[in-house]
A and B are shown apart, each in its own frame.
Chain A
Amino acid sequence: MDAQQHTEREPSAFRMIATLGVAGFLAGVILVSIFQWTKPMIDQHRADALEAAIFEVLEGAHTYTTLRVEGESLAIVEGETDQPTIYAGKDSTGTLIGFAIPNEATGYQDIISVLFGYDPVAKKVVGMEVLESKETPGLGDKIYKDDDFVAQFADLAVAQGIQAVKPGEKTAENQVITITGATISSATVVDIINNGLAEWQSRIDNYLAESETMAQNDTP
């Protein structure tokens, strides 16, 4: 035993720290380079997915304009912006169909990012698409895999806000039935939409009122 200990001397603390330091540094260099290289492609995929989702949640939309906050109203974005944005979908004749509003919140595992369609005239949510989620496979991921759950958002009155209720307890039009085994994830989707509406609804109304007055002024 003694002889073995002599032959295998413990390396100095400095050597151990240096080994891990070098390993960490090299790992960092590799990760940064790969991240820089793949970032434009990943961003492009995200943008494509967002665009597909906009046309998905606003049925019949042909084109869309990106809008950002301006005071208590909205303004059209030209170029790039860091501000939160929403998307106004128009049909082939240029008539406004509704707004696609992105919003996110922490679900059961991680952040759930949702895009939902809102019709400001009928005061209805007209579609919902989960953009990103790491919810538990088989349970929480039903927020986008369960067609019955997703279909509830295709025509949902939101004038009073929406409510999450357990299966069998639905009594009103603005209620959404949660998924058994994924109550937190499905209630989070409802919260995301409520918060998104609270944030944007009045601005959308102001923006629509402004556009209407402008249109009236233009046509004497």
Chain B
Amino acid sequence: MSTLEIRGLEVTVDTDNGVVEILKGVDLTIKSGETHAIMGPNGSGKSTLAYSIAGHPKYTITGGTVTLDGADVLEMSVDERAKAGLFLAMQYPVEVPGVSVSNFLRTAATALRGEAPKLRTWVTEVKSAMEALNMDPAFATRNVNEGFSGGEKKRHEIMQLELLKPKMAILDETDSGLDVDALRIVSEGVNRAKEANNLGVILITHYTRILRYIKPDFVHVFANGRIVEQGGPELAEKLEANGYADYVSK
């Protein structure tokens, strides 16, 4: 049983126009097996929350704490956070030219497991992870995210989620750019990972569509750098009907 605890998180970013305050005190607690949907309008700071937890160097933490089972996440380097059990499925996965998917996955698995996975079982593991997400086996020989379609990038992210077996996953707009079939396949992957590893999930999205496939236990409305309302799945239905206007004008 793991707990990711975010308390009073304040984050700024340096821009050409100076330092901009983006997160203004975020409080959120996620336990293993729970799924928290974070919904909110563009520019409300949802992605900043995701990247700050993962440790992207662009963001400066100016206040608050993030702990995973009591360990100070903010003190950890980016790779240490992954080793502690955090995973970020990115909205815009980065291209890494000349590095094949199979080499990348094996290097990551070796780093996270502390030893190189046995070749035979590893090959089977990767193959079945790819099949489960309807991916062409040739995918493994392609360079990481290079020339991938939007849907392929997202499948690749969720394949890593299944292979790397984190304790807590943040899915940053994993549903954006997916057609109905791909959304279903990717959602099934997330649900498998939840079931297999009792994964805790922060699901960041604009739309309720993905929540039909990945059932949230909690829904948080994010606006202007903080959580402004919390509720159960019924809150998502309300947002679907009324939009974010109420929260943005507040």
| Chains A and B form a bound pair | no
